[in-house]
Amino acid sequence: MTGPHVRLEPLTEDHAEGLHEAGEDPAVWTWLGMVQPTTVDETRAMVVKALADPNRLPWVQIDPATGEVAGTTSYYDVDPVHRAVHIGHTWIGARWQRTGLNTNAKLLLMGRAFDVLGAHRVGWHTDVLNTRSRAAIERLGATYEGTLRAHRVRPDGTLRDTAAYSVTAPEWPAVREGLTSGN
């Protein structure tokens, strides 16, 4: 899937070196559910773990202008019976934060979910304390649904409350228009 600011490709082990370079800034890992890999081999192990997760379909985010790996994102909690999916496990290198890359990736993933896969609902989860992520999700046009208390365990062992968001199929045309009207 390709847009003006990002190309999404299925994640493979071949992306490990590029992901390691993109994730060099420790601040990238502040809110993630994993610790920062310190070597390319640790990054490769992270990729292998993502690929082995039967509940996840991971993508690598490529900067189409440079061909560089910028980060990763995934579909997860795919529910074919109720036609719902979550988008998450997302991180991008510091250089690509606050650019059009993340928004463009989410537009492509929502478009595929609603227009190709026939989803009724696309959701997001983020740490309730991660104000930057929450603002980004809200800029997408997602609706805040509430807080899931003690929902996850952070890498440091503390409990995380999770802010839950979604876009539903009837909302998708207006959300898509809002995200594409500036392009």
Task: Note the pLDDT tens digit of each residue in 66-107.
Answer: 999 999 999 999 999 999 999 999 999 999 998 999 999 999
- In CATH, what is the architecture of 7-180? 3-Layer(aba) Sandwich (3.40)
**The model's pTM:** 0.94
Residue 86, pLDDT score? 98
Question: Which residues of the chain, if any, have pLDDT below 50?
Answer: none
| N-to-C CA span, the chain | 17
Six-digit token string for 104: 């463009």
Cα-trace Rg, the chain: 16
Instruction: Give the pLDDT of residue 183.
Output: 52
Domain boundaries along the sequence of the chain: 7-180
